[in-house]
Structures are given as C-alpha cells and as structure tokens.
C-alpha cells in the first residue's frame, strides 16, 4: 500500500506526524512504502517493524532510519508512541555534510534496508519528547520558515546522536562518514585550543592523521582547508571582542595568543583587509558607548 503523503510534505519537503495519525491517514492500514522520501522513526515504546520483509523488534527510545523506496509494516501498535520524520533530499541537502549523511552506507544506503540506533543515555521520555517533538510543533504553529529551519536542525541532531552512539568500526566502513567524525572532533579541539595552538599539524597529530588528510577532510566537509578554519576562528573571535568588549587591541591580541601586537595587526590586515584599529573605529561609529 502506498501512503498518501501530507500536503506539508509536498510543500516543504518535510513532515512530522505521530504513528497513530499516519495510520489514520492510511485508512487504518499499517503497511506503507517510503516512496522517494527519507524516513526517520523515533520509537518511544517497544514496537515490531517489518521492513522489506524482515522483522525487527525495535526497543523503546530508538531511532529507525529507512531510505527511499522501502516497504514497511507495523506490528500491533495500539497505544504505542512513535513519530515519523519524513523528508526529501532537496529539503535536507544544504551542504556537503548533509549529502554525506543521506548517501552513507550507515543510515540510508539503498543496499541497507534499515539502520536502528538505540539511545543509551538515561534521558526521561518527556525531555526527549519536548526537544524532538513539542518544539517542532510549536515552530509549526508560529512560522513556516522557522519550522523548516528547526526541522532541519532536529533531523541533523537525531543523525548526529546516532552517529555518536555508533561503533567507530561501523563509521570507518564509510570513508565519508569518517570524514564527518574527524572534522567534528577537529572543530571541538579548535574551540578549546585556538588561543594557544594555531598550526594544522597540532590538530592532525592529536587526531593521529597527517596534515594533508585533515585538510582533505575539512575541504570535503566544510569547503575550507584546516588552515582556513583556524584563521576564520581567530578572525571571528577578534571581531566579537571588538564588538562586545572594551578591551584594547593590545589586550585582544594577547587574549588570542599573539605575543606581538605588530604580528597580530599584520594577521588581521592580511585576512580581512583592515587593520584592527579600523575595526574599532567602525564599531565605535555604529555602537557609540554612552555613560
């Protein structure tokens, strides 16, 4: 049986609905086809799912990833809480990382009928329900553009949580997912160490890969070299300090790990086209301090 897709799914490329509503729209029948859409089911209660003829006993607080053109049938589901997140590739693919997830061998690969990830953290159902379901429902009532943006962020969060809970060996089977894992770790390290460590080699060594490998990964995932990401981080922190603090240029230079203010000035001028003092003048004109 082919499920009649909702008007919202046709219009925005995304819909979220409780299992009870999905079955109701399906004329009370529990068999479906995913058509050209990607599906993530968030299962709150133990539930049987038959996907492409294979039965799966899905434990409560699990996510089930099912790609396009898959048949699925639900077992007895009266009183069971579950939600369907259905979306098109056009809706989700906003950057190269999104494309990696949709085409990965782990989540939605056509050669794999289903991927099930069980949440291992001790998070109460009501908390998970709020962050995954209720917030989206509130955005849906408020504004469609906000809803679409929040929906993309929610889907990304679900995928990243599943990735976090996945065995590293599984991730390494898919080279591009491995890229995502390394670049995410690089970003975390950069946030922590950018003031004291400004060389790509430091981060590559910490990740146990070559500088060339790290750069190829960041270029694929972020569209920038590892060096460019370090520079962007420093420039961004400088601009925030100029805008939101009264620190002198010399103090900002020291705070960002530059021992010589002249070197810092040259660095900012090289990568922004303006001297640090010019930024301060511009900000002072827009946001004059008052007593």
Write down which residue in 228, 252, 272 finishes a domain: 228
Examine residue 193 and state whether it is found in any structural domain, yes or no: yes
Domain containing residue 243: CATH number: 1.10.10.60
Contact 69, 34 (CB under 8 A): yes
244 and 147 within one domain = no
Q: Which helix (H) or strand (E) holds 100?
A: helix 96-102
Q: What's the whole-model pTM score?
A: 0.69
Give the pair of three-digit tokens for residue 114.
Answer: 């289903």
CA distances from 259 to 138, 198, 245, 250, 252 (A): 49, 13, 20, 10, 11
Q: How far apart are CA 170 and CA 168, in angstroms?
A: 5
Q: Is 15 left (phi over 0), alpha (psi -120 to 50) or beta?
A: beta
Verify that 224 and 250 share a domain, yes or no.
Answer: no
Q: Is residue 1 part of a domain?
A: no
159 and 192: one domain?
Answer: no
Domain shared by 36 and 57, yes or no: yes
Q: Which of 149, 166, 183 is the last residue in one of the domains?
A: 166
How many whole angstroms separate alpha carbon 209 and alpha carbon 183? 12
What is the CATH classification number for the domain harbouring 11?
A: 2.60.120.280
Residues 6+ apart with CB under 8 A from 260: 253
pLDDT tens readout for residues 203-246? 999 999 999 999 999 998 888 999 999 999 999 999 999 888 88
Split into its structural domains, the chain has a count of 3
Pair 116, 66: CB distance under 8 Å: no
User: What is the chain's pLDDT, residue by residue, as a tens digit (291 residues)?
Assistant: 344 567 778 889 999 999 999 999 888 999 999 999 999 999 999 999 999 999 999 999 999 999 999 999 999 999 999 999 999 999 999 887 888 888 887 888 655 689 999 887 778 889 999 999 999 999 989 888 899 999 999 999 999 888 888 887 887 778 888 888 899 899 999 999 999 999 999 999 999 999 999 999 999 888 899 999 999 999 999 999 988 888 999 999 999 999 899 999 999 999 999 999 888 777 655 444 443
Same-domain status, 116 and 252: no
Residue at which a domain ends, from 206, 228, 250 = 228
How far is it, in rounded angstroms, from Cα 115 to Cα 119?
13
Q: Which domain range does residue 160 map to?
A: 7-166
Residue whose C-alpha is closest to residue 249's, from 220, 284, 225: 284
């Amino acid at each position: 049986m082919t499920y009649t897709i909702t008007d919202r799914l046709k219009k925005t490329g995304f819909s979220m609905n409780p299992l009870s509503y999905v079955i109701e729209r399906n004329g009370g029948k529990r068999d479906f086809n995913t058509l050209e859409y990607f599906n993530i089911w968030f299962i709150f209660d133990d539930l049987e799912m038959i996907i492409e003829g294979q039965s799966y006993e899905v434990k409560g607080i699990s996510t089930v990833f099912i790609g396009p053109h898959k048949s699925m049938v639900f077992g007895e589901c009266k009183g069971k809480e579950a939600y369907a997140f259905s979306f098109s590739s056009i809706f989700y693919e906003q950057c190269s990382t999104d494309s990696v997830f949709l085409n990965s061998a782990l989540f939605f690969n056509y050669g794999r009928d289903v991927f099930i990830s069980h949440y291992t953290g001790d998070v109460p159902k009501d908390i998970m329900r709020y962050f995954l379901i209720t917030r989206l429902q509130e955005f849906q009532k408020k504004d469609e553009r906000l809803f679409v943006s929040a929906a993309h962020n929610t889907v990304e969060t679900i995928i990243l949580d599943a990735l976090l809970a996945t065995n590293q060996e599984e991730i390494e089977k898919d080279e591009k997912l491995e890229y995502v894992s390394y670049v995410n770790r690089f970003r975390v390290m950069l946030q922590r160490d950018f003031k004291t460590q400004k060389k790509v080699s430091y981060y590559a060594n910490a990740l146990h890969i070559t500088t060339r490998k790290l750069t190829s990964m960041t270029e694929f995932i972020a569209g920038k070299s590892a060096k460019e990401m370090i520079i962007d981080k420093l420039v961004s922190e400088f601009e925030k300090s100029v805008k939101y603090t009264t620190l002198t240029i010399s103090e900002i230079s020291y705070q960002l790990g530059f021992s010589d203010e002249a070197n810092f000035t040259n660095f900012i001028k090289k990568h922004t086209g303006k001297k640090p003092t010019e930024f301060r003048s511009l900000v002072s004109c827009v946001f004059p301090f008052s007593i």
